[in-house]
Amino acid sequence: MRSFEPKIVEKIQRLSDAIRKSLGEDGWSETKDMGRYSDYLAFDIMADVVFSAQYNTVENEKFRYVIGAIADHNVRLGVIAQAPELSIRALQRPMFMRAIKARDRFVKFIRILLVIRLKNKTKQRDIFSYIQDAKDPDTGKGLDFTELSTETATMIVAGSDTTSTTLAATVHYVGYSPICYDEVMKEVRSRFKSLDEIRMGPTLNSCVYLRACIDEALRMAPPAGGTLWREVDHGGAVIDGIPIPAGYDVGIAIHNLHHNAAYFPKPWSYDPNRWLRSGGDKSASAETMTAAYNPFGAGPRSCVGKPLALHQLMLTLATLFYQFDFCPTGRDEEAWQSKNMVAEPFLLKDHVSGQKTGPFVRFRIRE
303 is in an annotated binding site: yes
d(CA 185, CA 273): 15
How far are the Cα atoms of 58, 207, 317, 327, 340 from residue 179, in angstroms, in the given order? 30, 16, 17, 14, 9
Read off the amino acid at residue 231: E
Count of alpha carbons within 13 angstroms of residue 338, beta-carbon side: 8
Angle at 25 between CA 22 and CA 28, to 5 degrees: 55
d(CA 29, CA 124): 36
d(CA 208, CA 274): 12
CB 317 within 8 A of CB 203: no
How far are the Cα atoms of 7, 337, 355 from residue 324, in angstroms, in the given order? 22, 18, 26
Read off the amino acid at residue 261: A
- Contacts for 27-32: CB closer than 8 Å, 24+ residues apart: 27/364, 27/365, 28/327, 28/362, 28/363, 28/364, 29/362, 29/363, 29/364, 30/362, 31/329, 31/360, 31/361, 31/362, 32/360, 32/361, 32/362, 32/363
Positions at the binding site for heme: 303
**Binding site membership: which residues?**
303
